[in-house]
Chains A and B, each alone.
Chain A
Amino acid sequence: MTHRREALLALLFALAVLAAAFAAPWLRFVLTLALAKGIAALGVMLLLRAGQVSFGHAMFVAFAAYAVAFLAGRVGDALLLLPLAMLLTSLLGLVIGLFVARYREIFFGMLNLALSMVFYSLLEKFYSITHGTDGMRVPAVTWAGMATERVGGEWAVLVAALVLAIGFALLARLYLASPLGEALQGIKTREARLEFMGLPPRRVLLVAYVLSAAMAGTAGALIALTTRHVTPLMGYWTASGELVFIVILGGAGGVLGPFLGAVAYELVRVYAAASVADAWQLILGAVLLAVILFARGGLFSLLRGRRA
């Protein structure tokens, strides 16, 4: 797809999000969550480019969300909280990345899963600090010093999510086109060749990992500011699976894919829950199967008009 067509598509997508949020107020919340999850899924997609599946990235989402919950009382402005949460999560990503970037495939996936389950258990265990499964309330925050009431706050976080989504999509596009980003493909196919080209595979993967953690952290901070209540469930392994789900649903072929996937995912879930409250998983699972079996490249490739 040409740059111009992709930019046009992104613009149309952003406008559609804003229009839908304007027309149906209850969708603001759902779409904000979708954009946030799209950002996290974009990070997961970067790792998929290297052939690595993380089944634990919800840990970074939950970490940032809890960071916001803890810090919001002290740092009361969203425009400070977002970069702060992003930074902290990147640091966590760096520490964990140094460890997991040595592993590949199932070991990479399972280590991420294990670490996320450890973090999830700690959120539940440190009951006196985190209130366990009850979760924590996120205090009200200001936006650039301005206090907002419910509707204003919802718009503020939606617009912030949209801006960050576009920003990260551009960043991801630049990154994937750079030598470091292109080297990701090499991890998937021939690692030895990377070494030969003077790019240590571990470092290539580590950069992608930290970037993906930063994106997941941004998503977590946005989700915390949207739901205003964080629970350990945000870090459970099924939430990580959801992110991978979103990438595949949307298609890993381009940076728009994860966002299309996230919006589709949230809407399918809302729709399924509204029509059959006790069998929504059945519907979601069936949709995913249908996409994998009949539209391999995800929604993005359908939009592009040819199969990846």
Chain B
Amino acid sequence: MGAWFADNGLLLGLALLDGLASAALIFLVAVGLNLVFGVLRVLNIAHGSLFAIGAYTAAGLGAALGSGALPAWAALGVLILAAALVGAVLGPLIERLLLRRIYAEENVLQLLVTFALFMMLEDVQKLVWGVQPVHHDAAMRLFGTFDVPFGSDFIPFTAYQLFVLPGIAVLVLVGLVWFLRSTLSGRMIVAVTTDREAATAIGINADRVYLLTFTAGAVLAALGGALASPTAAIVPGVGASTIVLSFAVVATAGLGRIEGAALTALMIGLGRSVAVYFFPEAEVLIPYLIMVAVLLVKPQGLFGTLETRRI
């Protein structure tokens, strides 16, 4: 063990740095999905589409505003604005027009409504943005790189991935925890997550909470997409792979648990990058192995509690 660390300790350090950025993105997408699931009890497959649409919008907006002219903070602002816009428009639209009609239905119908929506949005993205990879990396380039010493060598990392992404993820985490603990709207969300009926009985309008939560989830999905767009080319099909990973996070985290999503995202992000270094063939399996392992030990997920179920 000690000898292994002497040989590979530095590499492991690099792997952890890489894992942070990827964990940050996973967290941003999954936390929104988990929040929505916690309150609405609907597993929103179209969450992946919102991620993709956020990414497309951010890249499109970034390109339209022109690169280079904007300072780094403004470029980042544009991305966040784009995400907020997409989530704030699409979230209420989807919740009001579609989900609202099916809250009383069996969960398979709810799942399929979002599946149908996901299928439709896949083609809508194609019709709007075409099929060529869309990319706008001004935000990544403007932050420059940061050299990490590595023995006698050094490894350049992008400051965007090393600091900005994890920084935003931490801000979102802290902000969400604060919001849910310390504001009335947040406490109403927690109350509905815990027990919708009891919450209704004390006067909470669950419909409004649903709308608010779904919109927040949509904004978070789009934000994840927007923040991913400077580092990754956006192509058709990106929503499908995003959503499966987020599902794994939700089930592992425990329903509706913010801190669970953070911890799971961190485990998956770090696990995958460590795998790339030491067992590259296992990389794709990591999220699922973590999920199966956690559920074997804790059937309700990391932070999950047994639910009371009403007939």
Contacts and interface: CB of A to CB of B under 8 A. Distances in A.
Does chain A touch chain B in the assembled complex, meaning CB atoms less than 8 Å apart? yes
Interface string B266-285: 00000000000000010011
Given A118-B288, A278-B126, A110 B108 contact: no
A292 to B, nearest CB: 6
Contacts of B291: 110-111, 114
Contact of B251 (A106, A189, A244, A245): A106
Contacts of A265: none
Contacts of B108: 48, 53, 244, 248
A282 B121 CA distance: 7
B248 A114 contact: yes
A281 B120 contact: yes
Interface residues of A, number: 40
- Choose among B98, B108, B122, B123 the residue with the greatest number of A CB atoms under 10 Å from its CB: B108
Interface stretch (B52-60, B111-119, B139-147): B111-119
B255 interface: yes
Given A278-B126, A285-B117, A248 B299 contact: no
Interface stretch (B7-15, B99-107, B148-156, B257-265): B99-107
Given A117-B244, A292-B109, A292-B112, A106 B37 contact: yes
B240 A282 contact: no
A53 B285 CA distance: 23
Interface residues of B, number: 45
Interface of B is mostly: helix
A152 B118 CA distance: 40
B250 interface: yes
Contacts of A55: 111
B109 A281 contact: no
A241 B120 contact: no
Contacts of A134: none
Contacts of A244: 108, 111-112, 115
- Choose among A105, A107, A114, A289 the residue with the greatest number of B CB atoms under 10 Å from its CB: A114
B120 A110 contact: no
Given A107-B251, A111-B251, A117-B288, A292 B106 contact: no
B311 interface: yes
B69 interface: no
B307 to A, nearest CB: 9
Contacts of A288: 112, 115-116, 119
A115 B247 CA distance: 13
Contacts of A103: 295, 299
Interface of B: 37, 43, 45, 98, 101-102, 105-109, 111-113, 115-120, 122-124, 126-127, 240, 244, 247-248, 250-251, 255, 281, 284-285, 287-289, 291-292, 295, 299-301, 311
Given A237-B244, A289-B113, 6 more contacts: A55-B111, A106-B251, A279-B126, A279-B127, A285-B115, A288-B119
